[in-house]
């Protein structure tokens, strides 16, 4: 097979032809749950790549063209506020879909600017590995915590972007990104792949999220 289009921590993404890519886990992991989440989203008009095949660790899907929102921010085509607004809108839309079960709404659980492709048809959400059902505030807490973490410890251009994105994201969502942030800290803290570095940053990142939500409340009262 040709060189991957992208190589992430857990999976490689290969172009199969002009219309299809293959996302393949390097370690045994079943793609059926993420394919099911993507199918539910697609069925209700939420922008995801179409899934052609999900078997074991392999997911064959529609090939998207366009930069990720992260790339667009880094090269100045998109502002951190624009990215924050798009993330907030995508979350609002996702959480408004009909539930799949009695266990809350479909959550993406990893929505950040690197997981949104600015395709010609509009923003499309990729990387549904962590998708599950639950309380929408949990999804908001994940995004806010990721922005806070990168804002405090990412390489300089990323840190500046994420730091600028966080208050706008919190300002645009209608739910509460701080309410369940400690639950997200516990979930991330239990990840065996997490280095000691990130582990020690989690409490301060959670505080940044709480402060951003407090600032939003103050702005609303002013």
Ligand X SMILES: Nc1ncnc2c1ncn2[C@@H]1O[C@H](COP(=O)(O)OP(=O)(O)O)[C@@H](O)[C@H]1O
Binding residues for ligand X (CB under 6 A): 5-6, 8, 10-11, 13, 21, 23, 49, 61-64, 68, 114-115, 126-127
Q: Hey, is 153 helix, strand or coil?
A: helix
> How big is the chain, counted in residues?
222
- 61 vs 212, which CB is nearer to ligand X? 61
Closer CB to ligand X, 64 or 88, in the complex:
64
Four-residue CA torsion sign, 109, 112, 114, 118:
positive
Contact positions with Mg ion (CB under 5 A) in 94-123: 115
Closer by beta carbon to ligand X, 63 or else 105: 63
The reply on whether position 86 binds Mg ion by CB under 5 A is no
Residue with tokens 């999976």: 11
User: Can you tell me the distance from the alpha carbon of 215 to that of 126, in angstroms, rounded to the nearest whole number?
Assistant: 31
Q: Which of Mg ion, ligand X, none does residue 199 bind to, with CB < 5 to 8 Å depending on kind? A: none
CB of 29 to ligand X, least distance (A): 11
Q: Which is nearer to Mg ion, 60 or 127 (CB)?
A: 127
The kind and range of the H/E element at 117 are strand 116-119
* Residues 23, 14: Cα–Cα separation, whole Å: 6
139 binds Mg ion (CB under 5 A): no
| Distance in angstroms (rounded) separating the CA atoms of residues 15 and 17 | 6
Binding site for Mg ion (CB under 5 A): 115, 127
């Amino acid at each position: 097979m040709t060189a991957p289009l992208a190589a992430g921590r857990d999976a490689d993404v290969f172009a199969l032809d002009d219309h299809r890519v293959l996302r393949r886990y390097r370690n045994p992991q079943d793609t059926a749950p993420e394919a099911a989440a993507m199918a539910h989203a697609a069925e209700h008009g939420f922008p995801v790549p179409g899934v052609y095949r999900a078997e074991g660790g392999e997911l064959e899907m529609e090939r998207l063209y366009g930069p990720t929102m992260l790339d667009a921010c880094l090269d100045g085509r998109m502002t951190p506020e624009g990215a924050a607004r798009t993330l907030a809108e995508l979350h609002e839309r996702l959480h408004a879909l009909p539930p799949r079960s009695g266990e809350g709404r479909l959550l993406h659980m990893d929505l950040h600017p690197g997981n949104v492709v600015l395709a010609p048809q509009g923003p499309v959400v990729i990387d549904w590995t962590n998708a599950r059902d639950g309380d929408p505030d949990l999804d908001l807490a994940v995004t806010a915590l990721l922005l806070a973490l990168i804002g405090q410890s990412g390489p300089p251009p990323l840190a500046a972007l994420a730091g600028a994105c966080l208050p706008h994201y919190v300002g645009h969502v209608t739910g509460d990104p701080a309410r369940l942030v400690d639950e997200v800290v516990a979930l991330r803290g239990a990840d065996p792949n997490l280095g000691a570095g990130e582990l020690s940053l989690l409490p301060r990142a959670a505080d940044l999220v709480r402060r951003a939500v407090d600032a939003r409340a103050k702005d609303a009262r002013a």
